[in-house]
Structures are given as structure tokens and as C-alpha cells.
Amino acid sequence: MSISVRNLSKRFGNFLALDDVSVEVGEGELLALLGPSGSGKTTLLRVIAGLESADSGSVLYDDRDMTRRSARERNVGFCFQHYALFRHMNVFENIAFGLRVRKHKGQVVNDRVNELLRLVRLENLAKRYPAQLSGGQRQRVALARALAIQPRVLLLDEPFGALDAKVRQELRQWLRRLHDEIHMTSVFVTHDQEEAFEVADRVVVMNQGKIEQAGTPADVFERPANPFVMDFLGNVNVFHGRVQNGKAHAGGLEVDYPAYSADVSRPATVYVRPHELEIDEVPLGRTSLEAQVVRTNPTGSAVKVALVAVEFGIELQVELSFQRYAELRLATGDTVYVSPRKATVFVPEGAALDYAI
Amino acid sequence: MKPKSSLQLAPAAHRPARHDPLYVRILLIGAAVLVVGILVVIPVINVFYQAFGRGISGYFSALFGDRDTRHAILLTLIVAPTAVIMNVLFGLAAAWAIARFRFPGRTALTALIDLPFAVSPVVAGLMLVLIFGLHGYLGPWLRDHDLKIIFALPGLIIATAFVTLPFVARELIPVMEAIGSEEEVAAVSLGARPWQLFWRVTLPNIKWGLLYGVILCNARAMGEFGAVYVVSGRIDGRTFTMPLRVEKLMQEYDSPASFALASVLTLLAIVTLSVKVLVERKTRLDLAEASRLQAPGETT
């Protein structure tokens, strides 16, 4: 089943949680709503579920208008951030709840719950109470409980937010596999871009109640629509400069920017991700900056080098491969030349790439 | 694990943070025991001693041989539970409103719930007479419709319910706030109707707190004197509850009968106290579990 959200707005007192938001979720798609806290992503999810009502706009399942329907009628599976398991019921009864309130027969409930216990691999813990489970186990019970009612849509609010890094990683992959198995239209909310990119088919980036960009993970990461998205999706080096005649200049840097070919110079910002910067011992043409090595951190999948750009006085973050790091033999205090392999330029106010969705 | 943890505790027991001299401890403990003994234990024992002043048969004939005493017991058994039921309904509604919603006047409502604790019961009784009495605001209307509240059973129930109003609500508000509305929202998302939500999710979570409130409320309702005294009009065999009857018998110099009836109230108090201790322990456990379940950042 597909979901269409059209022109939703929602206000809490003076706070505008959703500002004319429209989203499409395709049949069988796994969509991530990504944004910082307060961006309205959870509110959007709750409006889709019918747990919150919007001030204006509509929610459609396939082509049926569900805006005024109750959560019960919408028949969605919802996973809460802190699981919200029923503390006085054991795992079995938690999962059975949605079936019991719909007055299903005992045998039907038994079969369905046992099937779900197998799916989330908790067969042995059916008699346990939520307080006796680990965080990862609780999350799986919450998921089984949401799936028990055979929902048409699965909605997850920060599904892995309260788990530690290792369990989170495991559950992420498990969720992706589960989705590939049952192919249910799913939306999940997260503030973790890595999580969104790893799990989702498509990502919707939100900020201050608005959608900044929607697209596949590769799309959003490779072609961020605006400075907010650029900045939100991980570390980035920012240079303030100007554009003129199809080129952007920031100090010693020169970057092609064909979108602006006018003769009049305008302020612009150049964004370069740490892994898109190159370090050399000698200057390479005009597009390099002189910098001094401040510290190096060779732990992790790449070597992180912090430098200070001599001209700007700002700190730069660069990620190098171990091989390149070994070649350069960098030490604190060394003077080197930094040049971008790739850069993204944004021209504030009225420019073609700015704040387009 | 168990022996290990008790071993770890052992050194701490040898070195308390404060080491008071022996005489200080004996003095303090002695004073506490003395005060409780003189003010509580001896009077309670005396109630039973006096009650059995005419022997066991005398005790039971004092309780059940007298028509008015029998009626007083019956009346209390009607008034107290009715007031408790009213306050359970009110307490649930008020606690739900205060714990779940933010609305203008919420703080005022919270404060007003406590008002019956602050107002003297006699004043509460007078307030009811001023509203429902013959010369009160609603008096003429009630008389025209042949309804009797003051000097009748409804007045006794209203007075008792007013005085005991805060007990259930005050117990439930912190419990419901600690538990939060997450589980209720989850139940709604799973398709529970409001009634199913209440019976299957909310009530099981608050049952011990509710029971605790009911016990306190009932104890106070049975013992209520001041407010009931004012609105009862003290009509023999009609509006005498147990505490009023105890006082009446005392006035008539029938102290064995008075004490016999008083012993029944005392017995109820002792039973209430024991149940209260048990339930209190249960509520504490529930609250502890509530805070444990809400703690995020759990690991496997």
C-alpha cells in the first residue's frame, strides 16, 4: 500500500512542527525521515499513524483519504522510540494485544503470536516480562507486537535510538532483511544519517517542519540540495568566497560553478567533505591551500587529519587512506597543500540550487 | 552472587557514617517508644479492655442487642462504601485529567483537590447545610421536590465523600505521572477502544495505587465525625453513624457499649493499617519498575 501526505501543517502552541509538508511513500518502499530533533519528523510519523491530528492537509492510503480516520481504522503497525511495551503483560500477551482487542479467537491468536515469536527469534522468552528483557529484545517484541495486527504500513519512531552501537548495527541489518522478506510499506524516523543511508530505499531530509530534500541515499549524499542537507549529512569543510564567470573562488581555491556565469561577483559558500580533500607536499596549481598539520588520528577505517589553513585561520578536516598517509609521513607542524577533488558550491538567495526540493 | 554481595556489605556495616554514643541511642529509642506507648498502644488496649468490661456476651449484646447501635453499624456500612465509590470515580477522572492533559486551571484543580484536607470537617458540614439545608440556597427547591439531603442519608454520604475526596486522586496522580501515557498511546495504535485501553492497560498499571487510595479513603470515611455530625441532625435510629453512636453512648454513661462499638472501629483501623503496609510495598515496587522501564540507553 502506498501513502500520500499532502500539504500537512501542524502547530503546537507557537511552534510550527509541520509546515506544508508533502511526501509520497511508494508501495513496499522503506523510507527514512531524517532530521535533527525538532525537525517535525516524529510528528509527521504520528500524523500518518493517526496518533496525532494535523491542523490542515490530508493523509491518503492508496487513494483513500484517511485524514479523519482513527488509528484503529488505519490499521498501522507503530513502533515507539522507548518501545512502550505493556509492563504488566508478558512477551506473549504484549504481542497478542492487538489481536485480543480486535476479538480474534484464541487459537488464531496463539498461532499468529507463535509465528511472530519465531520471526523475531524470541520463542524462548514468551513468558518473560518486559523488565526482564534487554533493549534489543524489547525492540524486537515491540516490532512483533506492531506486526501482529497484520498492518498495511509499518511505522517506526527512532527504532534503534535507545540501543548501544553494536546492537543497533545488528538490528539495522536485521530490519533491512525483514523488510526484504515481508515487503511492507515502511517509514522510519531517525536523526542518524548513517542509519538512514544504510537501511532505507529513499531518504527524506527534514528541518524546521519542512522537507529539505527527498531522494535515494546516493542522490542525497552526492547531490545535497542545499547547505542544510550538506551540513547535516556528516562532517564538511566550509569556505566562504565569491562566484563569478562560472567559477567559485575562496582564497586560493578555485572551483567550477557553471550554474552562475554572470559577470557580477556574488558571495558563495564552498563545501568540501573530509574525504574529498587531497593532501600534497608541494602546491598543485592554483586550487590548493597552504595548511599546517595540527593532529592526526589513524584509528578507524581512514586516517583523520586536522589542519589549520594558513590563509583562513580555520581548521580543516581531511580523511586519507592509510596508504596515502604512509606515503606522506605527516607529522604535527608540517606545512602541506590541500586541494579538493570535488566540491559543492551554494550561492545564497535566489540561486538555482538554493532551497529547491 | 548473593553471598558475594553480602560480603561486600559487611565492612560498611562495621563503620556507620554516624556513630552515636550508646546513651544517645537508648534515650532516643526510649523516648519514641514511650510516646507511642502512652499515646497509641495503651489507649488502643484500653478500648478493648473497656469493651469487654461486661464479658464476651456483654460485648456482643452491646453491639447487636441494641436496635440503634445495629442501625449505626449498618448506616456506616452504607455511607462509607458509597463515599469510597464516588471518590474512586472522581479520583480516576481527576488523576487522568491532571496527569494526561495540560489545560488552563490545571494547577488550580490540583490545589483544590487538597482543599478538603485543609478545611475543618465541621466547616465542611456547615457549608453543606448552607447549600442544601432548609434555609440554604437549594433548600426551597429541594423541599418543593420532596428531596431530603440534610438530616438524611444523602447528606451523610455527601459530607463523607467531601471530607475524603483527596485520598484516591492524590494517590493516583503521582502513579499515573510516573507511568506516563506511552503504553496508552501504544494501545491506541494497536486498535484498542477507550474502554479496552482503560481495563487492559491503565487499570492494571495503577491498581496498587488505586487500592492504597481506596483503603485510606475507606478508613477515613468510616471514622468521619465532624462533618457528619453537623449534617446528620442526630436523629436516633435514622442518621447515627458508628462514630456518632460511640459519642452518644458515651454521653449516656453507657461506656461499655460505647467502647464495644469503638473497638469495632479500632479493629477496622488495625486491619486497614496492615493491608496498607502490604499495598504500600507493592506500590513502591511498581513505581520502581516504572522508572526502570523508562530508563533509556539499555544494553543487551
Record the pTM.
0.77
B204-245, pLDDT tens digit by residue? 989 888 988 998 899 899 888 888 888 888 887 788 888 888
Q: pLDDT value at position B238? A: 81
Judged by CB atoms closer than 8 Å, whether chains meet at B300 and A49 is answered as no
Judged by CB atoms closer than 8 Å, whether chains meet at B193 and A98 is answered as no
Average pLDDT, chain B: 84
Domain assignment of residue B22, yes or no: no
Judged by CB atoms closer than 8 Å, whether chains meet at B298 and A134 is answered as yes
Domain assignment of residue B178, yes or no: yes
Domain assignment of residue B224, yes or no: yes
Minimum Cα–Cα distance from A101: chain B residue: B192
Domain assignment of residue B143, yes or no: yes
Which domain, by its residues, includes B59? 52-294
Banded model confidence at residue A286, pLDDT cuts 50, 70, 90: low
A260 Cα to chain B: minimum distance (Å): 48
Banded model confidence at residue B287, pLDDT cuts 50, 70, 90: low
Domain assignment of residue B35, yes or no: no
A84 Cα to chain B: minimum distance (Å): 5
Judged by CB atoms closer than 8 Å, whether chains meet at A84 and B182 is answered as yes
Q: Would an 8 Å CB–CB cutoff place B183 in contact with chain A?
A: yes
Q: pLDDT value at position B7? A: 42
Does the structure show a pLDDT above 60 at B10? no
DSSP A262-287: -SS-EEEEEEE-GGGEEEESS--SSS
B300 Cα to chain A: minimum distance (Å): 5
Nearest to A87 among B189, B289, B298 (CB): B289
Banded model confidence at residue A145, pLDDT cuts 50, 70, 90: very high
Nearest to B188 among A71, A77, A163 (CB): A71
Does the structure show a pLDDT above 80 at B299? no
B188 Cα to chain A: minimum distance (Å): 7
Does the structure show a pLDDT above 50 at B93? yes
Does the structure show a pLDDT above 50 at A237? yes
What does the pLDDT average to over A124-150? 91
Chain A interface test: which of B181, B189, B195, B299 (most A C-beta within 10 Å) = B189
Q: Domain count of chain B?
A: 1
A36-88, pLDDT tens digit by residue? 988 999 999 999 999 999 999 999 999 899 998 888 889 999 999 889 999 98
Judged by CB atoms closer than 8 Å, whether chains meet at A102 and B187 is answered as no
Nearest to B190 among A88, A101, A134 (CB): A101
Banded model confidence at residue B5, pLDDT cuts 50, 70, 90: very low
A308-346, pLDDT tens digit by residue? 988 778 888 999 888 888 888 888 888 898 888 888 888
Banded model confidence at residue B6, pLDDT cuts 50, 70, 90: very low
What does the pLDDT average to over B123-145? 84
Read off the CATH number of the domain in which B146 is found: 1.10.3720.10
Banded model confidence at residue B11, pLDDT cuts 50, 70, 90: very low
What does the pLDDT average to over B182-193? 92
Does the structure show a pLDDT above 70 at B294? no
Q: Is the ipTM of this complex over 0.90?
A: no
Q: pLDDT value at position B16? A: 58
B188-210, pLDDT tens digit by residue? 999 999 999 999 999 998 988 89
Contacts of A134 in chain B (CB under 8 A): 298-300
Q: In what order do the strands lie in the sheet with A266-272?
A: A253-256, A247-250, A237-244, A266-272, A344-346
Provide the pairing of β-strand A237-244 with A247-250. antiparallel
Q: What percent of chain A is modeled with pLDDT above 90? A: 39
Minimum Cα–Cα distance from B296: chain A residue: A162
Judged by CB atoms closer than 8 Å, whether chains meet at B185 and A136 is answered as no
A138 Cα to chain B: minimum distance (Å): 10
Q: pLDDT value at position A280? A: 87
Q: pLDDT value at position A252? A: 76
Judged by CB atoms closer than 8 Å, whether chains meet at B201 and A134 is answered as no
Q: pLDDT value at position A311? A: 79
Judged by CB atoms closer than 8 Å, whether chains meet at A87 and B293 is answered as yes
DSSP chain B: -HHHHHHHHHHHHHS-S----HHHHHHHHHHHHHHHIIIIIHHHHHHHHHHGGGHHHHHHHHHHS-HHHHHHHHHHHHHHHHHHHHHHHHHHHHHHHHHH---TTHHHHHHHHTHHHHS-HHHHHHHHHHHHSTTSSSHHHHHHTT---TTSHHHHHHHHHHHTTHHHHHHHHHHHHHH-SHHHHHHHHTT--HHHHIIIIIHHHHHHHHHHHHHHHHHHHHH--HHHHHHH---TTTS--HHHHHHHHHHTT-HHHHHHHHHHHHHHHHHHHHHHHHHHHHHHHHHHHHHHHH------
A170 Cα to chain B: minimum distance (Å): 12
Nearest to A78 among B189, B204, B300 (CB): B189
Domain assignment of residue B31, yes or no: no
Judged by CB atoms closer than 8 Å, whether chains meet at A51 and B188 is answered as yes
Domain assignment of residue B73, yes or no: yes
Contacts of B293 in chain A (CB under 8 A): 85, 87, 130-131
Domain assignment of residue B113, yes or no: yes
